[in-house]
Amino acid sequence: MAKAWLQAGKVENALRVLEDASQQKNRLGGKGQWYRIQLRLADLYRQLGRETEAEKIEAELRQLLVYADSDFWIVKELNHRKTRGSRAAIR
């Protein structure tokens, strides 16, 4: 839904959808889906110039995944963002 809003140029609506979904951590189909939502939300915050909020999300994810395997997709993505200056985009 957020992607559709972004394609329509309705950034505020996309932001609202992602922020709402972000609060549904235990209701989504799995943690992987929630991780992806968090990364998309961080991307959108950056697009809006809200770097501090984006970094906060990524720091929270890193803390949650401190014991995860280094080849877990989200850990790899977070490490990639760290080396690229947090400018990676999530699919």
CATH of the domain at 6: 1.25.40
Structural domain includes residue 88: no
Structural domain includes residue 61: yes
The tokens describing 58, both together, are 């990524």
Structural domain includes residue 91: no
Structural domain includes residue 26: yes
Q: How far is CA 6 from CA 29, 40, 41, 43, 65, in A?
A: 23, 11, 12, 12, 29
Q: What is the pLDDT of residue 42?
A: 96
Q: Which domain holds residue 29?
A: 2-83
**What is the number of domains present in the chain?**
1
Q: Give residue-wise pLDDT tens across range 18-71.
A: 999 998 876 656 678 899 999 999 999 999 999 999 999 999 999 999 999 999
Structural domain includes residue 55: yes
